[in-house]
Structure 1
Amino acid sequence: MADERALRPIEILLVEDSPSDANLTIKGFLNARIANNLHWVEDGESAMNYLLSQGEFADALRPDLILLDLNLPGMDGRELLTEIKSDPNLKSIPVVVITTSNDEQDILRSYNLSANCYITKPIDVYQFIQVIQLIKDFWLIAVTLPPK
């Protein structure tokens, strides 16, 4: 039986308000050796509209993976994570928190809200690119993502 990943691209939703971090992440996934579609939104409200296929995102495909910054304008990443993991139709989507915060309370709260992993963004650009490569290797190659 053919691997589902070989038949269609992996859908990734990046929720990130920093254009420079978003661009590094997008470049990292563009260089991936596995087909993926990365969609970028800059805030929690847009992310929920995307996930619920509302408004300008009416044709959005359900993501296989969400990369989530915690510090967002408006609805922050913590609130968004709560919404995602409390929705029966969304809670199975893996959420990787990738943020500048290394605060123990943020880490604990994220895991208590069922984040699938928590990564503190490195300040160094080279290290940031390495982290994106590790995310790609683990979540797009090694992990079997939940079915749609």
Structure 2
Amino acid sequence: MKGQQTTVRILLADDDEDDCMLAREALAESQLSSELCVVKDGEELLDYLYHRGEYANPDIYPRPNLILLDLNMPKKDGREALKEIKNDPKLRQIPVIVLTTSKAEEDISRTYYLGANSFIIKPMNFPSLVKMMQSIGNYWLEIVELPL
């Protein structure tokens, strides 16, 4: 990523409107050069990635550089969406960070087995969320090189 592009596209899949609002504010507070798009369930996430329905225009909904994925969502949960993403040769290179309230060992093991790049338990307060977003940004957007 370094030197390749200035704005990083992050796709957040989470059905909790408050969590989405806090994530958006934390990202802004963290001063990362990023663009955040939010989808509310696994089906909408896959529609975005495959440019289906309202997400048909790739110029308006470009491929994300990073996906933040909640596990417990309606319609298609994060586990199912993660499995589809990582089984698709065109999508599997997109890093997926599971961002959830679950602390269950089964969820941690299962999501790594399915191909998650990181598993992070959602912080309980805003300052911790900002710090987490800064850490994600520092690592995924400044240190590692991501495919275009």
TM-score clears 0.5: yes
For residues 139 and 37 of structure 2, the distance between their equivalents in structure 1, rounded to whole angstroms, comes to 19
> CA contact under 8 A between 2:65 and 2:146: conserved in structure 1?
yes
* Residue 140 of structure 1, CA deviation: 1.6
Which residue of structure 2 lines up, in the alignment, with residue 15 of structure 1?
A: 13
TM-score (norm 1): 0.91
Unpaired stretches in structure 2, ≥5 consecutive residues: none
Q: Which whole-Å CA distance do the structure 2 matches of 1:45 and 1:51 have between them?
A: 10
The amino acid across from 1:105 in the alignment is E
Q: Which runs of 5+ in 1 are unaligned?
A: none
**2:31 maps to 1:4:** no
How far off its partner does 1:34 sit?
A: 4.0
Match of 1:83 in 2: 84
Aligned residue number for residue 96 of structure 1: 97
2:29/2:130 contact within 8 Å kept: no
- 1:36 CA drift (Å): 1.6
Query: 2:5 aligns to what SS in structure 1?
Result: helix
Shift of 1:129: 2.4
Q: Aligned AA for 2:87? A: S
Name the counterpart of 1:120: 121
CA distance in 2: counterparts of 1:99 and 1:68, whole angstroms: 8
Distance 2:104 2:45 in 1: 24
Q: CA deviation at 1:25?
A: 1.0
- Alignment check: 8 A CA contact 2:26 2:129 kept: no
Question: TM-score, with normalisation over the residues of structure 2?
Answer: 0.91
- Between the aligned residues of both structures, percent identity stands at 43
Q: CA 1:63 to 1:21, structure 2 compared with 1: closer, same or farther past 3 Å?
A: same
Name the SS of the counterpart of 1:5 in structure 2: coil
Which residue of structure 1 lines up, in the alignment, with residue 64 of structure 2?
63
| CA distance in structure 2 between the partners assigned to 1:30 and 1:126 by the alignment | 12
Cα distance in 1 for residues equivalent to 2:35 and 2:128: 23
Distance 2:96 2:82 in 1: 8
Q: Offset at 1:124? A: 2.7
How far 1:32 sits from its partner (Å)? 4.3
Please give the alpha-carbon distance, in whole angstroms, between the structure 1 residues aligned to 2:82 and 2:76.
10
Q: Distance in 2 between matches of 1:94 and 1:105?
A: 21
How far does residue 27 in structure 1 lie from its aligned partner after superposition? 1.3
